[in-house]
Structure 1
Amino acid sequence: MSFNKLEIHCLVYEIVCSRLLQHFEIPTPEIAIATLNKDSYDVKSLKRNRRKALPGSQCFASKEIIDADLLRDTEIINRKKEFNKYSNKQDLIRIALFDLWVDNKDRKEGNYNLLTHLENDRKKIYAFDHAFTFGGLEELNIFNPNSEVSPYKKLITSIFFKSFVKHLTKAERLYIVKEFVSRIKDSEPEIKDIIEDVFKQIPAEWQVQAGLKERIIGFLLSPIRIQKLNLEAVNILKKTFKI
């Protein structure tokens, strides 16, 4: 199966972000580039891309988290009792910071791309779908180390996020920002290694844009962007939210 040339880059972004989320210990479903085997699936059960699902074809695969629920578009956490039903509360802020860092254009109000899974009687949040990071396809040839860090139409400015993090103290929120930014700076060699490793595994036939690996590394480790990330996050999370 041949991928659309532009879609190829979305797959690269998915793999890069999955590896980075794992590095930062942010829950995310396992992913893989899978080769379809004959009789391993029922074509009739496929809602989309039936014609492309041929034996021997490659596809992007995400491991199902059994009984996980998609976070509703209308979800709001009004009471502390609801807030306390979540086990990894601080991870929601880390996911929002991650989205600013990688410029995720697709996790926002109305489309949270978050799963919740009941584990030990509490909900655990998982982040998924990172195809439109690094500015998405519109910025494929544009994103660079000087690109803006914008909270516009991102998780961090959504109603759900504000209703959730208001139950954390300002000090707790700002500590998470400090910790996340420090970890980016402290793990620069590891981040480079992750990107290098991802690109080594990409099949040659994907024909990924020349220089993409170097641009991703420069984008993620740009001191200018990391500073902007810190400033934007602090300015938002130091506020008192009344939702």
Structure 2
Amino acid sequence: MQLLHTIEDVHKIIETQGSSPLLVTCNDFRDWVCKYDKFPAYLFNELIASEFAKLWKIKTPETCFIKVKSEHIPHDKYPRLQSDWFEKECFGSLYLEASKELDHTTLSMFQEKSFRDKIGDKTDFLKIALFDIWISNEDRNHNNFNLLLYASLNKMIFFYAIDHVNIFNSTFLDYGITQLTEDESIIKSDIAKILFGKDRKLTDIVNTLVEMLYLCSKACENKLDDILNLVPVSWHIDKNLIKKRITDNLFSDDWKKQCALNFRAFVQSFIIN
């Protein structure tokens, strides 16, 4: 994964419910959303989730590491930014200008058939929901979608998954892993009901996604060493420890079986019923 560096002052802090990332311009002359968390475990969560998502063929913004130069941190404008947070590599995701964050204000758009017809692959919505169940992402739910609606050049709309700080039940797998509750899933949302409530192929879609769970989690297991090799030394992550925790939890047959059952139960409760 490429390492970029900033070429001018931080443009702004993007106020969010979580880590409040920065908008920066790097030496590739593109704008990036820069996560700088003081806790390296959060940066690791962003990295591992984005790499796993790619193997699931879930759309996410392009990623990189970013070195924010000290002279580009305007402490007078943003006094809360501490210099030591930027002594290590930050995690960057490409700023997608032609996108809109999914929230409750967009519900009326989904109610219009003309808009729904522009969605490139609505199945991605359920795929992301299943991915979240598998990786125990507690922060993407019916009140906080953490999804972008991205308009491609041909005007088709696609779901892009963002913000994965709170995977592993918002821990570093210190206490194992537990299933998401219904309130921690985007399946419990009006948008899920609108997209799939009348879809006669929903059973086939669900069955295909459950098959993908087993195939994609195996692909992630096979690539785990390569992904861990991406982790910067400056993050001080115990790679052997986290590898064992991920292997014991995410890749166990019992966990995958639980995830499949939970996914089916959510679909039955909030879309079919």
Q: TM-score, normalised by structure 2?
A: 0.73
Q: Structure 1 residues 59, 157: CA separation in 2 closer, same or farther (over 3 Å shift)?
A: same
CA gap 1:212/1:242 in 2 versus in 1, 3 angstroms = closer
Where does residue 19 of structure 2 map in the other structure?
Answer: none
Please state how far the C-alpha of 1:211 moved relative to its aligned partner: 1.4
| Deviations, residues 39-94 of structure 1 (Å, cap 9, x unaligned) | 7x574898685443898652221111122111123432334333222112110010
- Distance, in Å, in 2 between the alignment partners of 1:75 and 1:149 is 25
- After superposition, the CA RMSD in angstroms is 3.0
Q: Is the 8 A contact 2:133 2:259 kept in 1?
A: yes
Moved more, 12-21 or 57-66: 57-66
Question: CA 1:52–1:158 in structure 2 vs 1: closer, same or farther (change >3 Å)?
Answer: farther
Distance 1:236 1:50, change over 3 A: closer
Give the 3 Å change call, closer, same or farther, for CA 148–48 of structure 1 in structure 2. Answer: farther
Match of 1:93 in 2: 126
Q: Structure 1 stretches of 5 or more lacking a match?
A: none
Among 220, 240, 245, which residue is 1:191 paired with? Answer: 220
Give the SS at the match of 1:134.
Answer: helix
Q: Cα deviations across residues 176-208 of structure 1 (Å, max 9, x unaligned)?
A: 332233233235553123322222222334222
Measure, in 1, the Cα distance between the counterparts of 2:136 and 2:204: 22
Matched, 1:213 2:236: no
Query: How far apart in 2 are the matches of 1:215 and 1:194?
Result: 15
Note if contact 1:149-1:229 (Cα within 8 Å) is conserved in structure 2. no
Q: Aligned partners of 1:208, 1:42: CA distance in 2, in Å?
A: 26
One-letter amino acid of the counterpart of residue 78, structure 1:
Q
**What CA distance in whole angstroms lies between the structure 2 residues aligned with 1:45 and 1:101?**
42
How far apart, in 1, do the equivalents of 2:82 and 2:70 lie? 14
Give the 3-state SS of the residue equivalent to 2:159 in structure 1: strand
Equivalent-residue separation in structure 2 for 1:95 and 1:54 (angstroms): 30
Q: How many residue pairs end up in the alignment?
A: 234
Q: Which runs of 5+ in 2 are unaligned?
A: 1-35
Is 1:72 the counterpart of 2:103? The answer is yes
Q: 1:240 to 1:16 in 2, by over 3 A?
A: closer
* Secondary structure, aligned partner of 1:116: strand
Pick from 163, 170, 179 the counterpart of residue 129 of structure 1.
163
Please give the alpha-carbon distance, in whole angstroms, between the structure 2 residues aligned to 1:46 and 1:174.
Answer: 53
Q: Distance in 2 between matches of 1:156 and 1:112?
A: 10
| TM-score, scaled to structure 1 | 0.81
Question: Once the 2 structures are TM-superposed, how far is the Cα of residue 215 of structure 1 from its aligned partner?
Answer: 1.0
Task: Kindly provide the amino acid, as one letter, of the partner of residue 124 in structure 2.
Answer: D
Which residue number in structure 2 is paired with residue 223 of structure 1?
253
**In the superposition, relative to structure 1, how do residues 101 and 109 fare at CA in structure 2: closer, same or farther (>3 Å)?**
same
**1:8 equivalent in structure 2:** 40
1:90, 1:116 → 2: CA distance? 14
**2:141 aligned partner:** 108
CA distance in 2, matches of 1:231, 1:188: 16
Q: CA deviation at 1:26?
A: 1.1
Higher relative contact order (CA 8 A, sep 6+): 1
- Counterpart AA for 2:94: K
SS at match of 2:90: strand
Q: Does structure 2 retain, via aligned residues, the 8 Å contact 1:177–1:230?
A: no
